[in-house]
A = this chain, B = another copy of it.
Amino acid sequence: GVAAPAIAQSMPEVKWRLTSGFPKSLDTIYGAAELFAKYVSEATDGKFQVQPFAAGEIVGTPQAIDAVANNTVEMAHTASYYYVGKDPTYGILTAAPFGLNTRQQNSWFYQNGGNELANEFYGKAGLYALPGGNTGTQMGGWFRKEIKTVDDLKGLKMRIAGIAGQVMQKLGVIPQQIPGGDIYPALERGTIDATEWVGPYDDEKLGFNKVAPFYYYPGWWEGGATIHFWFNKEKWNSLPKSYKAIAEAAAAYANIDMTAKYDAKNPGALRRLVGAGAQLRPFSQEIMEACYKAANEMYEETSAKNPDFKKIWDNMRAFRGEEYLWFQVAEYTYDNFMIRARARGG
């Protein structure tokens, strides 16, 4: 009949490979790529299939960006800030030091033109991006010794990536880039003094508490880290409108579900870590202020020489001011009351 070819054309068989920037052991973050693949396949009766591969199965995390750009794989699910060596703009599209929190990131991407700004930038590299997860505010990481003053940071060898490392460097930290699997032995041997990773649930798996018991917060460089789905731009553009709609909704589902999973899994892990001897410590006000000042210097310096960075950071920064104007009213006051009520045993 006439109808059959039309239907077939609008639902072509598409089989794509996705390289994750993460190992399967991070079920929170890797799981979001699996959720995306599941929904895309179910929505199309298996006609649009995306197969996720763990980091290293096809290419390693550092190669994921080029693999998508040159169409070795059609998709990646990774943190844009891993590619900050190419351009610092990649850094702030995951998380800007002292930037937006999780809800504010989502609001910026979906409702303040953030996705459009991001894709204007990513498009130059042959990528198209959709937000595909958020970790929540991360922890500041694990330290072998207590860190009380800015002086305590001087000479500290810390595994910390990207522009956050640049900020820390201004305070005398010697930033180290070490893949996840190599951090524990480096900490144990004392090759490094500290490391940041994600938060209780992911950190617990790597056992850092055994060799670096001081667990600091907050991770001011990741107030709400957005993980992205990256598509080869031409491949994305070649999709029929229906598949684009399916992918957009599935990515949004993966986005909200990843945060939901972190929020559900982190409390139990935090309890267990503290039970196993982790010493929870807030960064001192002195350290927070010094890092904030150093971050502002980094923003000024980088904006002066990088117009893409400046355009995006100026927009984010203005949005941040508006957001905290609002968040400090109902949201913050509510959480404040609930935290104190809980502490009283309510």
Interface residues of A (CB under 8 A from B): 1, 3-4, 7-8, 10-11, 38-39, 42-45, 98, 101-104, 106-112, 136-140, 199-200, 217-220, 223, 241-242, 244-246, 248-250, 252-253, 255-257, 259-261, 263-268, 270-271, 280, 282, 288, 292, 296, 320-339, 341-343, 346
Contact = CB atoms under 8 A, between A and B. Distances in A.
Residue picked from A101, A102, A217, A264, most chain B C-beta under 10 Å = A264
A329 B217 contact: yes
Given A7-B7, A110-B260, A223-B338, 11 more contacts: A42-B244, A43-B245, A104-B263, A106-B259, A107-B259, A107-B261, A246-B246, A282-B333, A292-B341, A321-B342, A328-B343
A248 B253 contact: yes
Contact of A137 (B4, B252, B257, B330): B330
Contacts of A270: 325-326, 329
A42 B264 contact: no
B249 A138 contact: no
Contact of A246 (B4, B11, B43, B335): B43
The 7 closest A-B pairs by CB, nearest first: A42-B245, A4-B4, A252-B253, A107-B263, A111-B264, A249-B249, A218-B334
B217 A263 contact: no
Contacts of A256: 106, 110, 252, 255-256
Contacts of A248: 39, 253
Contacts of A43: 43, 242, 245-246, 249
A112 B249 contact: no
Given A45-B10, A246-B43, A218 B337 contact: yes
Given A266-B326, A341-B292, A342-B325, A107 B331 contact: no
Nearest to A7: B7
B107 A338 contact: no
Interface centre among A42, A249, A280, A324 (most CB of B within 10 A): A249
A89 to B, nearest CB: 22
B241 A139 contact: no
Nearest to A103: B263
Nearest to A6: B45
Nearest to A3: B4
B39 A267 contact: no
